[in-house]
Amino acid sequence: MRTPPATLASSALAGAVTQGWGLDVSSLRYVALGGGSYHWVAGTPDGTKYFLTVDDLNAKPWLGTRPDSVYRGLRAAFDTAVTLRDAASLQFVLGPLQSLGGQSACRLTLRYSLAVFPFIDGQPGRWGDLPEQDRDGLVGMLAELHQATSSAGPGTPRRGMELHDREVLTEALGDLEQPWTSGPFGERARGALACRAIAVRNWLTEFDDMAARLRRRRPKLVVTHGEPHPGNIIRVGSKLLLIDWDTVGLAPPERDLWMLDDGAAVPAGSGGPAVRIVPTVPTGALARYTALTGWAVDATAISYYRLAWKLADIAAFTRVLRSAHKRTRDTKHAWKSLQIALSQAPPKPAGRLCGCLRL
């Protein structure tokens, strides 16, 4: 997140690190990056650095519906990362450091939790920019991760095929006739969604159809990262590390693999009334994955997870901009991201509800 939470004092955060992990925090620096979590770099008197992550337990719908269930889901995810790193010996897993009580995360308040990670002095990746050598490395990591499923532990979460925040998106699609007075980006978000409403509704229909087909096939479940995009990769010398393990869980391997698909950057669609998502034939990185694992890649599942990502983005950013908000770096980011997500859906014919996307 680009703005730290106003209700969380630095002194309280430093005190929680000392109490929970036994670290003497002498400095704290906020790091304005990412989405969904808040980050600080903490320094100790001997010069050692740690990376602190504070999660908003009201903003992770894939983990639960209330702060308590989200916290339990977050702990389960981080515990899985610790097991993969330590018991399964997957050295590319950058999981949290366990607290003095052996916990992967601790509760700060009713709303926030805290996890402490090693500070890695490396080169972070950028979304949409994955050099060929890193693509090859990522294929190898995902193959190794998926094949370590038996070592992930009995507490590994299972990720279903539902669309989180779907009710938020459905409600928004049904409320396009009324002004959105939630904040400075409310009306702009309404206009943008109204302009693409037909396509988004058709995407939801296609999502349900593909999900039903995949469930009937009873796909192989493996331990997946969930978001292995370049922004979650850190290069340290010749090695790659995967970060952000709050999305880890059992799912079909294509939950990770769609990001390796050669056509993943731009979701495929005919642009016609049905907005069909066309399955792709596994080539390139996906073919290499098959060579490493011996597992065939399901082209329909690749298309499903690509579409699921797009709809989840639209739903999440709509939720932010329909809620009461002010103009901040985070809400400006949400507005820009919503425009990008919607730009790949064909607009309906111009009308009084059709807004413009300004990219």
Contact 239, 127 (CB under 8 A): no
Q: Which string of b and e fits 240-277 if b means at least 16 CB within 10 Å?
A: bbbbbbbbbbbbbbbbbbbbbbebbeebbbeeeeebbb
Average pLDDT over every residue of 334-357: 75
pLDDT band at 349 (very low <50, low <70, confident <90, very high): low
Which tens digit of pLDDT belongs to each residue from 117-156?
A: 999 999 988 877 777 878 899 999 999 999 999 999 899 9
Contact 278, 252 (CB under 8 A): no
Contact 105, 78 (CB under 8 A): yes
Would the pLDDT of 277 be above 90?
no
Question: What ranges do the domains of the chain cover?
Answer: 10-119, 166-343
- At 36 the pLDDT is 75
Which tens digit of pLDDT belongs to each residue from 91-117?
A: 999 999 999 999 999 999 999 999 999
> Which residue, 54, 58, 66, is CA-closest to 5?
54
Average pLDDT over every residue of 235-253: 95
pTM: 0.88
Residue spans of beta strands (DSSP E) within the chain: 27-31, 37-43, 49-56, 106-107, 112-118, 123-124, 222-224, 233-236, 239-242, 249-251
How many C-beta atoms surround the C-beta of residue 59 within 10 A? Answer: 16
Which residue, chain included where needed, has tokens 């010069």?
A: 47
Q: Does domain 10-119 have CATH number 3.30.200.20?
A: yes
pLDDT band at 174 (very low <50, low <70, confident <90, very high): very high
256 three-class SS: helix
Contact 298, 216 (CB under 8 A): no
pLDDT band at 264 (very low <50, low <70, confident <90, very high): very low
- At 172 the pLDDT is 97
**Per the structure block, which two tokens stand in for 128?**
């949409």
Kind plus residue range of the DSSP H or E element containing 132: helix 132-146
Average pLDDT over every residue of 212-233: 94
Which tens digit of pLDDT belongs to each residue from 52-89?
A: 999 999 989 999 989 999 999 999 999 999 999 999 99
**86 half-sphere exposure, CB direction, 13 A CA radius:** 12
- At 81 the pLDDT is 98
- At 63 the pLDDT is 94
Q: How far apart are CA 36 and CA 325, in angstroms?
A: 16
Would the pLDDT of 293 be above 90?
yes
Distances (CA, A) of 287 to 226, 281, 282, 284, 298: 20, 9, 6, 5, 11
The amino acid sitting at 153 is G
Return all residues near 75 (Cβ < 8 A) that are at least 6 apart.
103, 104, 105
- At 353 the pLDDT is 47
